[in-house]
């Protein structure tokens, strides 16, 4: 373990430019570099490591609204994937000397090791208010180019999130078994799998988990609910999933616009009714699209650990963790077939649904993140119950 207080401050002048011409002079606490992507904000007071390693942040630079970041360091247990997925993190003040017995390294060292930028020294409240008013937009940050006009042009040249399929860059290309919190790569053919791949058939319900950018804690929660889990790539064909003969199918979270992932939408459509299916976040959106629904881009998205969601079946309110920039339009779903089960109490957007005849359910938020802390944990138990009926 390194000395977590030994973090040489590399406060390098930088410039953050937004596509609409707004600029923010700032500093890099990770040395020289450049980064670009859609700029968004997260309202969580803690959880910066989980946020930065969440594959749903591929293609985005994350602004933390809490002003002091880095004060508890980074540790191996809090990873949500194998690497930093966000393009950069933007904070008001970076703390270079963490105080936490779990800390294995500083945030700056962690970011440098993964080749990502850390930016501080700007008014993140002003930046957040600007995003809330103008919407999430493309941005560019650099320590090597401090010319405002040039940086704005580079921001305007960044690819839009809308219309981009980012799931392939955030997911596995090979299937793997998730067992006791570890990935075990598998060598079976995706063209010719069979039901013999399950080690605990009959003793545990089995689930084939589509990886569109899956978080580790989702897999931990599925395992804690008693499932045997095999994670499969997003491009796997429906007939291959049928040959696996799982007891249930899980659709994971992931980054970007769901509509361009037409291959996944078609596969999900073909598998509906074959086995019980549960979707989270992007999985929720893809399932809705497979049912003939529509999605749209939110102005600035939902990103944080304090989003209130009402369960329309029970009347209870759940405090939820969320990270999404697109939402399902409930008007596009057939109310005779689909029941809306959850809504967001901040803006009344759709947060969950179930099919009235088929064993399908989905939620837009992240029940595994547990900010409630256990408000939404019942969903994994309900999914298991669905697979055993």
Which long-range contacts does 237-243 make (Cβ < 8 Å, 24+ apart)?
A: 237/190, 237/267, 238/266, 238/267, 238/270, 238/271, 240/190, 240/191, 240/192, 240/193, 241/208, 241/267, 241/271, 241/274, 242/271, 242/274, 243/192, 243/193, 243/194, 243/195
Asked if residues 104 and 3 have their Cβ atoms less than 8 Å apart, the reply is: no
Measure the CA–CA gap between 316 and 295, rounded to whole angstroms: 26
| 355 assigned to active site | no
Residue 281: phi, psi to the nearest 5?
Answer: 60, -110
Catalytic site residue from 19, 50, 351, 368:
368
Catalytic site residue from 26, 151, 221, 281:
281
| 87 assigned to active site | no
Residue 278: phi, psi to the nearest 5?
Answer: -130, 130
Residue 294: count other Cβ atoms within 10 Å of its Cβ: 15
Asked if residues 34 and 149 have their Cβ atoms less than 8 Å apart, the reply is: no
Spatial CA neighbour of 309 closest among 298, 319, 322 = 319
| 130 assigned to active site | no
Residue 349 CB contacts under 8 Å (≥ 6 apart), including other chains = 298, 302, 327, 343, 364
Burial class (CB in 10 A: 0-12, 13-18, 19+), 334: exposed
Residue 134: phi, psi to the nearest 5?
Answer: -95, -20
Structure tokens at 257: 């616009």
Measure the CA–CA gap between 266 and 257, rounded to whole angstroms: 16
Spatial CA neighbour of 215 closest among 387, 80, 98 = 80
Measure the CA–CA gap between 139 and 90, rounded to whole angstroms: 12
Residues recognised as catalytic: 281, 366, 368
């Amino acid at each position: 373990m390194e000395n977590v207080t030994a973090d040489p401050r590399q406060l390098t002048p930088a410039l953050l430019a937004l596509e609409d011409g707004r600029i923010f002079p700032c500093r890099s606490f990770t040395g020289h570099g450049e980064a670009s992507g859609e700029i968004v904000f997260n309202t969580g007071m803690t959880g910066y490591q989980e946020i930065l390693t969440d594959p749903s942040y591929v293609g985005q630079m994350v602004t933390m609204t809490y002003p002091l970041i880095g004060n508890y360091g980074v540790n191996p247990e809090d990873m949500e994937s194998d690497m930093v997925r966000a393009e950069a993190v933007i904070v008001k003040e970076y703390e270079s000397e963490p105080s936490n017995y779990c800390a294995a390294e500083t945030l700056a060292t962690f970011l440098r090791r993964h080749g990502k930028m850390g930016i501080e020294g700007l008014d993140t409240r002003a930046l957040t208010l600007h995003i809330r008013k103008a919407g999430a937009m493309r941005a560019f940050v650099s320590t090597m180019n401090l010319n405002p006009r040039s940086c704005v042009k580079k921001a305007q040249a960044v690819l839009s999130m809308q219309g981009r399929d980012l799931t392939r860059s955030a997911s596995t290309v090979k299937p793997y078994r998730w067992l006791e919190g570890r990935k075990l790569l598998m060598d079976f053919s995706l063209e010719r799998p069979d039901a013999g791949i399950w080690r605990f058939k009959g003793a545990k319900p089995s689930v084939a988990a589509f990886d569109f950018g899956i978080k580790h804690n989702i897999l931990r929660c599925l395992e804690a609910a008693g499932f045997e889990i095999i994670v499969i790539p997003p491009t796997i064909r429906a007939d291959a999933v049928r040959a696996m003969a799982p007891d249930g199918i899980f659709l994971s979270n992931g980054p970007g616009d769901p509509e361009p992932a037409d291959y996944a939408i078609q596969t999900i459509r073909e598998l509906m009714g074959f086995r019980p299916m549960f979707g989270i976040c992007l999985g929720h959106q893809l399932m809705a699209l497979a049912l003939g629904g529509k999605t749209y881009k939110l102005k600035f998205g939902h990103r944080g650990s304090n989003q209130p969601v009402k369960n329309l079946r029970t009347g209870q309110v759940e405090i939820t963790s969320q990270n999404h920039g697109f939402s399902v339009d409930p008007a596009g779903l057939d109310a005779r077939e689909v029941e809306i089960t959850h809504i967001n109490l901040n803006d009344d957007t759709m947060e969950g649904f179930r099919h009235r005849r088929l064993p399908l359910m989905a939620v837009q938020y992240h029940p595994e993140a547990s900010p409630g802390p256990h408000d939404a944990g019942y969903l994994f138990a309900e999914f298991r119950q669905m697979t055993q009926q």
